[in-house]
Amino acid sequence: MVARVSILMTVYNGLPYLPAAVESMLTQTYTDTELVIVDDGSTDGTPSYLASLDDPRVRIITQPNRGTAAAANAGLAACTGELLARMDADDVSVPHRLQSQVDLLDRRPDIGMVGSFTRILGDAGPDGVVALPTEHDEIVAALRAGRHALSHPTLLLRTELLRSIGGYWHFPLVDDWDMMLRMCEVTTVANIPEPLLLYRVHRGSLNGAGMARMRYSIDFARARAEARRAGRPEPTEEAFAAGRAALSPYRRLAFRATVGSLTHYRRAVAEKAGPHPWRGAPHLLVAVALRPDLVVRRLARHRAVRR
């Protein structure tokens, strides 16, 4: 029997957080599901843990390490559900996440992809809520501007729509921003104004090099989206990289300031949600010094919640 919702999770060296992520999806109040997990060449205890799962709803795909986009596309090819839920291997979904999202898509056939607010999950437990825009036009405007508007691991979408846009791109870059922009071009999107996922942050979860790669990927996805809107050929990665290399010293410095600010802000959030919250203060100060506008915008979307 084909499940209505396919849950797609990719993982690379997912321990120690993977079991909690898997458990949170197997104990959803909405039960018409299958869980497709793509192991992207893990070298830790992940393969052994996955082999120990005996739930009939779970299917494991293994492949050599080829990156998240390749893993996601392999999983997409294996998913059989009418709806597809994304999930990261270190986050935790609340029990009614899928039920809330399925109910919304059933009520609103015009919506093809829905996410939600998230709640920060640190080493010391849950922390504040991250609020995002809820309406399509606001979401699209923010994504086009390079601002966070959808949380990828919260998404539930109509599977055939994702397949119709070609799934995830093939570049060895961070892949979610491109997918979200292209989905916004073919359907209405929304966020449920409730934290349906605990988004894990921890010290060292994203270093400067990782943030630079992420921001480069976002800018590349935005450039390709702008070309589509203008009716121009989408730039290749080589052409985009050449353009970035030719940027003026001022613009290169501005990019480094953005990367540095976001990296230190992420560390500040992780420390605040950890056992020694005061350790986040120096990182927050550096983030403010580098890009005060970014910090103000990010703080504005965080809602404090008592632990």
pLDDT digits (tens, 9 = 90+) for 65-89: 999 999 999 999 999 999 999 999 9
d(CA 23, CA 115): 20
Cβ count within 10 A of residue 142: 15
**Is 112 in the same domain as 148?**
yes
State which residues form the domain around 219. Answer: 208-303
**Is 149 in the same domain as 115?**
yes
**Is 97 in the same domain as 239?**
no
**Is 259 in the same domain as 280?**
yes
* Three-class secondary structure of residue 39 per DSSP: strand
d(CA 98, CA 86): 11
Strand partners, 119: 129, 198
Q: What is the pLDDT of residue 281?
A: 93
Buried b (16+ CB within 10 A) or exposed e, 94-128: beebbebbbeebeeeeebbbbbbbbbbbbeeebbb
**Is 110 in the same domain as 220?**
no
**Is 289 in the same domain as 157?**
no
d(CA 274, CA 55): 33
**Is 186 in the same domain as 234?**
no
Complete DSSP assignment for 250-303: HHHHHHHHHHHHHHHHHHHHHHHTSS-GGGHHHHHHHHHHH-HHHHHHHHHHEE
CATH number at residue 186: 3.90.550.10
**Is 167 in the same domain as 61?**
yes
**Is 247 in the same domain as 170?**
no
Domain boundary among 200, 229, 261: 200
Q: Is 28 exposed, middle or buried (0-12, 13-18, 19+ CB in 10 A)?
A: buried
Placement of tokens 């943030």 in the chain: 211
Of the candidates 130, 247, 136, the residue with the CA atom closest to the CA atom of residue 181: 136
| The amino acid at 184 | C
**Is 231 in the same domain as 176?**
no
Low-confidence ranges of the chain (pLDDT < 50): 304-307
Domain boundary among 140, 169, 200: 200
CA 288 from centroid of its chain's CA atoms? 24
Question: Considering the entire predicted model, what is its pTM?
Answer: 0.94
Report the number of distinct structural domains present in the chain. 2
**Is 193 in the same domain as 212?**
no
Of the candidates 24, 273, 269, the residue with the CA atom closest to the CA atom of residue 126: 273
d(CA 21, CA 18): 5
d(CA 258, CA 265): 10
> What angle (nearest 5°) sits at the alpha carbon of residue 179, between those of residues 174 and 184?
140
Domain boundary among 176, 200, 224: 200
Q: What is the pLDDT of residue 123?
A: 86
Q: What is the pLDDT of residue 204?
A: 60
**Is 159 in the same domain as 48?**
yes
Q: What is the pLDDT of residue 127?
A: 87
